[in-house]
Structure 1
């Protein structure tokens, strides 16, 4: 067969081996490397992810015993863990399709299938997140959107007293808070049902919360713009769509502001003022402390800007603490 050459370049002439070497040994250091064959290229990011996904699935499949998923072991089981056809059956997908997935074929995987695979392979929350990340998909489950509120985080919230502080996700859900925050903008945040403990819902629909915010119009505009920016990374997720749908249904102000399509991203520390129902005017520096690299979950903190506000926060904390003590005594 004729030697393939680059168009327009003559084929190299054969040469004898250098003294002390044989044909086929390594060339001298100063000899240039031969050109790469046509059509070869470094693996793309998507190809690398597919191979990582295939390896991850195979590894987790081999770690699960049949007994763990309610299957009989049988006598002729030569492979460790589950067989491919067993994973496919338990996940309600085709055997051929799942085999292609473990072979790193270029195929599309839906969130529903990934969810089924995660359940079949008994993945924990970290492994599930890794699975969706390798597949380039967004996990639609509510647990994936909310960070775990650990005892350590709750301890930090308590130690910040009398400074108001809470933990929110990027959708403005209030996931945890300390006593002072519970009474910062209303008489008692804990009296609300969990589905209403969302700062977007409160600032647009709750009369008591709205009354406490000195610059309400600016606050509503900035919060809607931040929500719009954050939503770009969560398009199609049910919880996000339901939040916007509810806000549009319950607030004409939100509908009007949302249609402006304003976007504000990133953390912004600023001074805010609140008219507290217990202690009066509070002037506070607002700071977001991010709990994850993707700037999703954050600890929201408020620090007094003057001595009068500091004294009022201490009084507010005493009120909150006393109310909780009374509530506990009543429950007993």
Structure 2
């Protein structure tokens, strides 16, 4: 006896994200009272929290449009509207980050605190002392760093936050490029690692924006990117030529802070006594400059 075939289907990822976004918005709306956002209590409410029209009013969007959003309709949501919704719904930093992730949008507030960098992690960076260390995500954004790392390849403190990206700096920043002994090989490997990581983020705005920025700014990057090379993450011995203390031999080491595709603690551990002594001097120089800057000198 032949049995009929049983067909199974899996909802597209975009459908799942829209429904998750709708549920998340509804849950946040229902936990807020009108008094919390400066609205009068009004008549008796059948359900807790704000009404959809009140969220729409607070966010300066149409009621029908917001209703469609909570119904998981396939509509476009701009970062500016998401920003308004986050403020109207009183989202904390983690909730705000979750909102933008579900919507597949880039947060327009780049100075918002990164939930991956806790006070304890910042303290660990400082306590590593002369070992240059930073926290990076898989897109090579530098999320936090200690004083020694801040002077290792260039003066990171002088750069705008959006420029603190290792891939961007290694292809465009003269000081960073001058500090790398084998620049061509490092750039090839970094671009290959970036391509491997990007496979899971092809449609995400922040990744596409960085790629477009690199392609527009660097012919060298365009040539390397066109090779379609991929390399997995891993550490290796590197030679760096610091402008203040000279040649350094370090072991590039990654410690993952979550899933392997997420943020990581990056350290440049000295490979010999001479490098260790030079990194001690670099740390002292960086801390002295920071003290002078704090004193307004």
**Which has the larger Rg?**
1
Cα shift at 1:226: 1.9
Distance in 2 (CA, whole Å) between partners of 1:289 and 1:211 is: 27
The normalised TM-score by structure 2 is 0.79
Cα shift at 1:308: 2.0
Deviations along 1:130-153, whole A, 9 cap, x unmatched? 4566x5x42421569973333322
Contact 2:100 2:106 in 1 (8 A): no
2:120 is aligned with 1:152: yes
Matches within 5 A, 1:152-301: 152-186=120-154, 188-265=155-232, 267-293=233-259, 295-301=261-267
Contact 1:87 1:117 in 2 (8 A): yes
Distance in 2 (CA, whole Å) between partners of 1:51 and 1:327 is: 49
- Secondary structure of the 1:246 match is helix
Contact 2:32 2:50 in 1 (8 A): yes
Instruction: Mark the runs of 5 or more structure 1 residues left unpaired by the alignment.
Output: 1-6, 10-37
- Secondary structure of the 2:208 match is helix
Contact 2:93 2:113 in 1 (8 A): no
RMSD: 3.7
The higher-RCO structure (CA 8 Å, 6+ apart) is 2
Deviations along 1:115-143, whole A, 9 cap, x unmatched? 6554443222333444566x5x4242156
The normalised TM-score by structure 1 is 0.71
- Secondary structure of the 1:302 match is strand
Distance in 2 (CA, whole Å) between partners of 1:319 and 1:190 is: 14
Contact 2:197 2:261 in 1 (8 A): no
Cα shift at 1:231: 2.9
Contact 2:192 2:228 in 1 (8 A): yes
Instruction: Mark the runs of 5 or more structure 2 residues left unpaired by the alignment.
Output: none
- Secondary structure of the 1:295 match is coil
Distance in 2 (CA, whole Å) between partners of 1:83 and 1:142 is: 26
